[in-house]
Amino acid sequence: MTEAVLANVTTDVASIRPGAVLLVSLVAVALIFLSKNRPNVREAWSLLAALAMFGIVASMVPDVLEGTVHVTNLGTFVDGIDLELRADGLGMLFALVSSGLYVVTALYSIGYMRGHHEPFQTRFFAMLCASVGAALGVAFAANIFVLLVFYEILTLATYPLVAHDESAEARTSGYKYLAYALSGGLAVFGGMVAVFWITDPSTISFTRGGIEGLAAVAAADPWYARGAFALLAGGFAVKAGVMPVHAWLPSAMVAPTPVSGLLHAVAVVKAGAFGVARTVIDVFGPEVVYEIGMGVPLAILAGATIIIASLFALRQDNLKARLAYSTIAQLSYIVLGLSLLYPAALMGGLLHIPAHAFAKLTLFLCAGALYVQLDLKYISEMPGVAKRMPITMSAFTLASFSMAGIPILAGFVSKWHILLGGAEAGNLLVIAVLVTSGALNVAYFWPIIYTAFFETASDHGGKPVLENPFGGAPEKSQEYRADGGDDVHGDDHDDHGHGHVDLPPSDGWTRSEGWLDETTLLMLVPLMTTATLVVLFGTVPDHIVFFELIEGIVEAAWEVSPE
């Protein structure tokens, strides 16, 4: 880490770059709509926008590591609230994840949308770009007001993606998503007003270690501070999928798989987790959160979510549904790390933002490839499928092991730091939650891997792992397609009740003619890229820029550990 960051010294410089990122997104959305009758041009704009946004974000990294913060000031909304974008260390962490993985998702989406002959492709690519632009606005927001504006724009931009195919089920799921997300935004608004009201001088700008004035309020009347914290953290927890405000997330699986990757790995859920991080680190500061006692209830909610969502995942036969409940559990590792309020745990929670993003996006890209190539969406349809798609299933295996926290993979790095934080806090319950959840991760991922590599159509066991109704509606009432909508069960359904008479083939899957022929390169290259990132982040984490950024964030946020 550089001396400037270690010394907790930063210098703000006026710059157009944070604003330019958002301008690129806005212009690209217009160009995509204008190119609706020229698919190649439309998709070229999408890919060029992704590369441009990532390039601008990456260009600011060296300066941020040296303590220079790029600031775009667009004026003043009211006294104390500036319309300002600020590329600091924490914002850069989220921006790098979002913009970098958008490049991968944009490329993959071309192969997926063409391969599955999806409707409304112009709207899809435009809203995908708008969603990532909104996520970058969340990342670079200099205060709670600006963050809230882009947070709500993100909700509105992703609604057409959730309800993409315009079926009744997709629309219902989209409305459910809107109801939850907008309610969370309303809570954040209440928290913003509370913070603005109780601080002196009135301000809601993010400040290292907490906004000036909140510490005094917390000492004088902690219940005011607790209420403001509960509104902010609770509102952001909706998009972070913390139970009991998680129900929108499994329903959102009606969306096309690239959207599921965007929702679960890149933008939406990470915006929620990022909002919790801003609240803990830059609104209240870890010391104030500790003093008002709000870390404990947040940790309880996160720990319960990790265990319960993992149990729910055990009974899901729909591959995307199992991944959805896995997302709910995995996001709460971020919240748990933040809520423990110890440096190692804080670092682990932040490390899990990129670690989870790389692995979960890999899993969804693999699920999409299986669907486009083989029309496969259920785990019980997967016996021997690794013979047909060995690269895809190998990438899926690596990402699954990362989710379970297996060493030399990305998930181990972040979870190890959270474990160290739990030990540092002397909290054996946190250690027990991490160990138990690791076992549950193996329990719901290993059957997928085993059936794909080692079983055949004639000898595979029943899936899901748990057959009882715990964790969701019975199988036959509703199942989501991998591309959106719901399956309507008719008389032509097979023994699984899924509507696929020939899956898995009775004579087994046929091996691909060549190693790179299992699916289009537009889909294969992205999933191989994210799988490689999973390995790199797990083997040489301190050589990855995220590690250095997070070290600086933790050093700046936490000057004295709680006693």
Please provide the DSSP assignment of 270-336 as one string.
HHHHHHHHHIIIIII-HHHHHHTT-HHHHHHHHHHHHHHHHHHHTT--BHHHHHHHHHHHHHHHHHH
Average pLDDT estimate for 237-246: 90
What pLDDT was estimated at residue 2? 40
What percent of the chain is modeled with pLDDT above 70? 87
Tell me what the mean pLDDT of segment 349-357 comes to.
Answer: 95
Q: What is the mean pLDDT of residues 191-200?
A: 84
Read off the amino acid at residue 494. Answer: D
Nearest to 4 by CA among 559, 554, 552: 552
Kindly tell me the burial class for residue 62, based on how many C-beta atoms sit within 10 Å of its own C-beta (0-12, 13-18, 19 or more): exposed
d(CA 503, CA 506): 8
Mean pLDDT of 351-359: 95
Determine the Cα–Cα distance for residues 76 and 63; give it in Å rounded to an integer: 26
Kindly state the tokens that stand for 68. 């220079």
Residue 410 pLDDT class (50, 70, 90 cuts):
very high
Could you tell me how far CA 362 lies from the centroid of its own chain?
12
User: What does the pLDDT look like over 471-501, one tens digit per residue?
Assistant: 344 343 344 444 444 443 333 434 444 444 4
> How many CB atoms are closer than 10 A to CB 534?
26
Q: 28, 157 in Cβ contact below 8 A?
A: no
Does residue 468 register a pLDDT over 60? no
- CA 379 distance to own-chain centroid: 23
- Selection from 537, 533, 528 nearest residue 410 by Cα: 537
Q: Output the pLDDT for position 247.
A: 86
How buried is residue 71: exposed, middle or buried, by Cβ count under 10 Å (0-12/13-18/19+)?
buried
Q: Say which residue the tokens 């022929």 belong to.
A: 517
Q: Which amino acid is at 135?
A: A
Report the candidate in 345, 322, 550, 323 with the shortest Cα–Cα distance to residue 433.
345
Strands 68-78 and 11-14: parallel
H or E stretch including 516? none
Domain extent listing, the chain: 11-462+510-559
DSSP letter, residue 486: B
Mean pLDDT of the chain: 85
In whole angstroms, what is the distance from residue 416 CA to residue 418 CA?
Answer: 5
What number of H helices and E strands is found in the chain? 22, 3
Task: Collapse the DSSP code of 78 into the 3-class scheme (helix H, G, I; strand E, B; otherwise coil) and give the result.
Answer: strand
CA atoms within 13 A on the CB side of 222: 8
Reply yes or no on whether the pLDDT at 165 is more than 80.
Answer: no
Structure confidence at residue 8 as a pLDDT band (50, 70, 90): low
Residue 140, pLDDT > 80, answer yes
Given a cut of 50, whether residue 87 has pLDDT beyond it is yes
Residue with tokens 């004035």: 213
Q: What integer is the mean pLDDT of 35-60?
A: 93
Q: Given pLDDT bands bounded at 50, 70 and 90, which one contains residue 461?
A: low
Task: Give the pLDDT confidence score for residue 518 in this predicted structure.
Answer: 81
Q: For 279-289, what is the mean pLDDT?
A: 91
